[in-house]
Structure 1
Amino acid sequence: MESVNMHEAKTRLSQLVARAANGEAFIIAEAGKPVVRVTAIDAPETKTQKRLGFLAGEFNVPDDFDRLGQEEITEMFGG
C-alpha cells in the first residue's frame, strides 16, 4: 500500500481521492509515521484482516510456553 506524506496529500488531494474511489487505498503519513488509511467508502475490507487464525489447529503450544528456558534466562541476567 502506497504511503503519501501530509504535504503531498494536500497538494494532490483530488488525484488521491479519485484513486481511492477507484479502489486504490493509500496511507497518509506525518513525519514518516502512518496516520490514516484512505479507502473508498464502499471498498471491501482488506484480505489481511481475514487471515486471523489461519493456522488454527496446525500446532499445539505447550502450557508452559511462557516459562520455557526460564532457568537459562535467569542465569544469563545474573540470577
Structure 2
Amino acid sequence: MQAVGLFEAKTHLSEYVARAEAGEEVIIMRHNKPVAKIVPLDAVVAPAVTPSPFVQRTFSMGSPHPDIDLTQLNKLAGEVEDQESIAKLRAGR
C-alpha cells in the first residue's frame, strides 16, 4: 500500500488506477492526513461492526457495576435453550 499526496494523485491518476487494477491499494493524503483510497473494484470491504443494542445497554464503562437487563438476558438464554432442544430433536429423527 502506498500513500501519495493529492497533487501527486491528480498528476498521475492513470498510474494509480493501473496499480489498483493490479490489486494494489493507494491512499490519497491531504495535508498529511489520509482522505481517500483507490482500491481494486472487486476489493472486499469489511462492514463496520456495531454491537447489538443489548450489548450496548448492558456494558457500561462509567460505573463499577454494569447495568444488566435480566429480562432480556433470560429471554436470550431461553432462546438458546430452545434452539438446542430443537437441534437435538431433529438429530434424533
TM-score tier by shorter-chain length is: 0.5 to 0.7
Deviation at 1:8, TM superposition (A): 0.2
Q: Mind listing any 5+ residue stretches in structure 1 that lack a counterpart?
A: 50-64, 68-79
Higher RCO (CA-CA < 8 Å; seq separation 6+): 1
Paired residues, number: 57
Structure 1 residue 4 and structure 2 residue 7: aligned? Answer: no
- Whole-Å separation in 1 of the counterparts to 2:39 and 2:2: 12
Q: Which structure 1 residue ranges, 4+ long, deviate > 2 Å from structure 2?
A: none
TM-score (norm: length of structure 2): 0.48
Q: 1:66 offset after TM fit, Å?
A: 7.5
Does 2:23 match 1:23?
A: yes
Structure 1 residue matching 2:14: 3-state secondary structure: helix
% identical aligned pairs: 43
Q: Is it true that 1:40 corresponds to 2:78 in the alignment? A: no
Q: Judging by fraction of residues, say which structure has more helix.
A: 2
2:74 corresponds to which residue?
Answer: none
Between Structure 1 and Structure 2, whose CA radius of gyration is higher?
A: 2
Q: Describe the superposition over 1:49-75 as per-residue Cα deviations: whole angstroms up to 9, x where unpaired.
A: 6xxxxxxxxxxxxxxx978xxxxxxxx
**Structure 1: distance between partners of 2:23 and 2:12:** 17
Looking at structure 2, the residues matched to 40 and 14 of structure 1 have their Cα atoms a distance apart, in angstroms, of 13
Describe the superposition over 1:4-30 as per-residue Cα deviations: whole angstroms up to 9, x where unpaired: 100000000000100011100010000
